[in-house]
């Protein structure tokens, strides 16, 4: 980590002195009265006037900047990678996403050569006329289906590095299941990957799964057609702030920006998870941000409303609740739906589709909204009021749990 910090300081000095030199370049009266700088970047932008070299302090700065520039050019690949890494990491933090380990197929360049040797030793690597290396995946072993794992110059390919990564990860972590999440265009790639692992004798390849996702169509921000995730997050927060400011039911919150971010993220996540992950869908800002209907905003609104009900009536004091008081059809509907929660979680864990949880939570919110109207807590007999309050607390607890499973942070006020 220390090297990365140092490289960032070097990058800062590089850009500072490059800017300084560019400023001096603008003062040159004649290109003929100039001498080239050492830095490749400086050579691209032109020259520094000779007469500036008489100043020893300035000369030191210029020479120092050249040294820094050349060092940074050697480290620019690392700096760019680290910049992108931390930029993406910041976006992940906004989504509430974190990882225990960061690695990718590019980390396995050297180990991919070991994989090629293993394939050759097992008699799986075949050379084509062009000199490329392939693995025969056909049932009849006639090369009607194959995967190219080596270029003609002997270097590895994406799938070779993925093979090395899979072997290393299983050796390191002894995974029960290894799940790859990518867009559906890579489906054949992972079919080949898992098949080659099986041919290599790795039984655990049966426990590898590819979860594919479709494309989001029609999404664009106010800034234009090209959409980046950070732009989408900024846009949804901005729109939610406007909606909150104009809504009559909006309550005062400590941090409107944070609340808008959480509610906006819920809107995006529910819009994304409502259908089959591999299906393409048409995105609509208006539909996603509706406070009524099957949206993430509706989930957040219901959670905040139920939490407010608990705060108003002191649900922490609930003891010895008589559940037999809950005889009304609307109460029974909520209770029966709550009993299905474990079943829904199991189903999602089996097919790795969050849509089951989304559908369950939306139905729960609709049932809770009806019950909230027909089963008043205020004004009811104490025993009945306690039972109803307990029912609403259970609904909010399950709702909050399900939202968190989907990566949504429930709000308690909006």
Output the six-digit token pair for 379: 């004004």
In this prediction the pTM is 0.75
Per the CB < 8 A criterion, the answer to whether 237 and 222 are in contact is no
Exposure of 149 by Cβ count < 10 A (0-12 exposed, 13-18 middle, 19+ buried)?
A: buried
User: Which range scores top for mean pLDDT: 290-304, 318-332, 398-412?
Assistant: 398-412
- Sequence-separated (6 or more) residues with CB below 8 Å from residue 227: 219, 220, 221
**In terms of Cα–Cα distance, which of 129, 139, 121, 22 is closest to 69?**
22
pLDDT at residue 331, as a whole number: 98
Averaged pLDDT for residues 8-15: 43
- How far apart are the C-alpha atoms of 335 and 332, rounded to whole Å? 5
- How far apart are the C-alpha atoms of 350 and 334, rounded to whole Å? 25
Beta strand segments in 109-151, E: 125-127, 133-136, 146-150
Output the six-digit token pair for 37: 């700088």
- How far apart are the C-alpha atoms of 238 and 223, rounded to whole Å? 13
pLDDT at 403 over 70: yes
Helix (H, G, I), strand (E, B) or coil at 126: strand
pLDDT at residue 6, as a whole number: 45
pLDDT at residue 88, as a whole number: 78
In DSSP terms, 265 is beta-bridged to none
Residue 323 CA from chain centroid, whole number: 42
Output the six-digit token pair for 22: 């560019």
- How far apart are the C-alpha atoms of 162 and 291, rounded to whole Å? 43
Phi/psi for 181 (5° steps) reads -115, 110
Ordered by where they begin, the domains of the chain are 2-95 (no CATH), 105-213 (no CATH), 229-405 (1.10.730.10)
In angstroms, the first-to-last Cα distance of the chain is: 40
124-177: per-residue pLDDT in tens? 999 999 999 999 999 999 999 999 999 999 999 999 999 999 999 999 999 999
């Amino acid at each position: 980590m220390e090297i990365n910090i140092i490289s960032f300081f070097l990058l800062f000095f590089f850009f500072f002195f490059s800017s300084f030199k560019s400023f001096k370049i603008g003062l040159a009266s004649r290109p003929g009265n100039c001498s080239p700088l050492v830095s490749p970047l400086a050579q691209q932008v032109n020259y520094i006037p000779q007469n500036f070299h008489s100043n020893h302090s300035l000369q030191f700065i210029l020479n120092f900047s050249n040294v820094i520039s050349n060092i940074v050019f050697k480290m620019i690949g690392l700096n760019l990678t680290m910049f992108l890494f931390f930029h993406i990491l910041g976006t992940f933090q906004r989504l509430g996403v974190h990882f225990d380990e960061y690695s990718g197929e590019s980390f396995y360049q050297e180990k991919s050569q070991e994989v090629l040797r293993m394939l050759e030793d097992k008699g799986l690597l075949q050379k084509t006329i062009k000199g490329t290396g392939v693995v025969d995946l056909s049932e009849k072993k006639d090369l009607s289906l194959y995967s190219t794992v080596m270029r003609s110059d002997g270097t590895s390919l994406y799938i070779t590095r993925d093979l090395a990564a899979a072997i290393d990860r299983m050796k390191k972590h002894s995974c029960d299941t290894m799940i790859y999440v990518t867009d559906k265009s890579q489906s054949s790639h992972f079919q080949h990957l898992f098949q080659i692992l099986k041919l290599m004798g790795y039984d655990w390849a049966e426990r590898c799964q590819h979860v594919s996702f479709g494309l989001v169509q029609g999404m664009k921000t106010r800034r234009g057609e090209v959409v980046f995730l950070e732009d989408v997050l900024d846009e949804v927060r901005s729109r939610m702030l406007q909606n909150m400011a104009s809504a009559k039911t909006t309550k005062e919150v400590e941090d409107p920006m944070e609340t808008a971010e959480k509610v906006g993220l819920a809107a995006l996540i529910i819009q994304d998870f409502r259908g089959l992950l591999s299906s393409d869908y048409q995105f609509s800002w208006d539909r996603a941000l509706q406070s009524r209907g099957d949206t993430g905003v509706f989930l957040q609104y219901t959670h905040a409303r139920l939490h407010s009900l608990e705060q108003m009536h002191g649900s922490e004091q609930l003891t010895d609740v008589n559940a037999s008081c809950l005889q009304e059809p609307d109460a029974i509907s909520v209770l029966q739906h709550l009993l299905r929660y474990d079943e829904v979680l199991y189903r999602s864990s089996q097919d790795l589709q969050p849509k089951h949880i989304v559908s369950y939570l939306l139905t729960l919110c609709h049932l809770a909204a009806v019950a909230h109207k027909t089963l008043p807590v205020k004004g009811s007999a104490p025993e009945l009021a306690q039972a109803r309050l307990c029912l609403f607390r259970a609904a909010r607890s399950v709702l909050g749990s399900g939202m968190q499973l989907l990566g949504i942070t429930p709000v308690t006020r909006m």
